[in-house]
Structure 1
Amino acid sequence: KKNSKEDDICYPPLLPSKVDLRQVTIIPHNEWKRIQDSLDRLTREAAALRAERKAKKELHFKSQNVVKHWTNTYAGMKEQKLKAKKKRDEEIEAERQNLDVEEEIYKQGERKKAIENAKQYQFYQTERVKNFNSGLLLSRVMKERDAQIEFQKSRIKSDKKWEDQLKVNIAKAFKEEQEKAEKRHRERIALAKDHLK
């Protein structure tokens, strides 16, 4: 009876169809378990090693992040020096850019002045402006000449007045000297007459 029950149970086919059984190796269940455990052990060990490495890396990264803000370590001092150098470099670069901007503004101003001077020169070179300037110059020259003539006349007048005044003063002084001399002469004659008496 047992055989008939076993015949009734339908097992799923273990091998694919059309497989040459001479090329198939059958492994006992215990051996198969051992191979799977061995492969699983290697996979588990590799996964454990990977997890351990990852944990160490994360711990190292966290440690680096914590330590890099410390100022009393070589790495912290180095970091601070690098930050200070970077800040100095940025300040120097900003100052250099400001100087460049100022230089550009100055150059633009100089170019503008040069253009204005060139335009003004071209304007002065036109015939109408040349004639106007020559007329203006001529009027200034004539005005200066008239002023010089007036000055000469006034100087001559003042010289003549001075000479006339000098002549009057000399005549007056001469007259006074003559009167004094006559007075002295009269006094001497009077004195001589007194002595002769």
Structure 2
Amino acid sequence: MGVVIRTAGEGDRELVVRLLDDAFQDDPVSGWVFPGDAYRRATHHRLMAAFTDLVLAEGRIDVTEDGAACALWLSVPADDHADGAGGDGADDDGPARLRAAVDPDNERVELIGRLTAGVHPSGRAHAYLWMIAVAPGRQGEGLGTALIESVLDRCDREDLPAYLEASSDRSRRLYERLGFTLTGRPLDLPDGPRMWPMWREPRRPAR
């Protein structure tokens, strides 16, 4: 049986925030932004809520019908890029506003937005996979792959590239299997883990 996917609405906000919070508690980048288990459990969900609100307003969130996985997408126009922290790439104050709203004393909330903005490609319209989350007890069932492939199929039909930043070596290998390749150099966070900016050219249907 295939994975049933639907578009999330405002009524799914808490579900999406909970999925993102649970799925990324052990993520290397989340651990760098919010060091310490107790601190991360108390604060991390605020950042996930801010991301959810942004993408509900400006992009699209796909969720599996059983509520076990979700994917956050933004459509980035040509000659622009998402700033990784809330909105248009030209909005230099976005990361600072995000920090003020989420965790004012934590400079890494702002820094991660500025660093990812600095490596985000511009010049061509593309689909941006901001985040994807699968409930910890459901990982390995192909839910994440199904969510991504549903959008990549559309990208192929519309001749549209796709972009993401992999936050772990495990996720990087998954994205490589789906046709993404490293663009530029990896992003090494200061005193922290590595991220991999990845780009996928649309695939032409076989004739």
TM range (shorter): under 0.3
Which structure dedicates a bigger proportion of its chain to strand?
2
Q: TM-score, normalised by structure 2?
A: 0.13
Point out the structure with the larger helix share: 1
Specify the structure having the higher radius of gyration (Cα): 1
Higher relative contact order (CA 8 A, sep 6+): 2
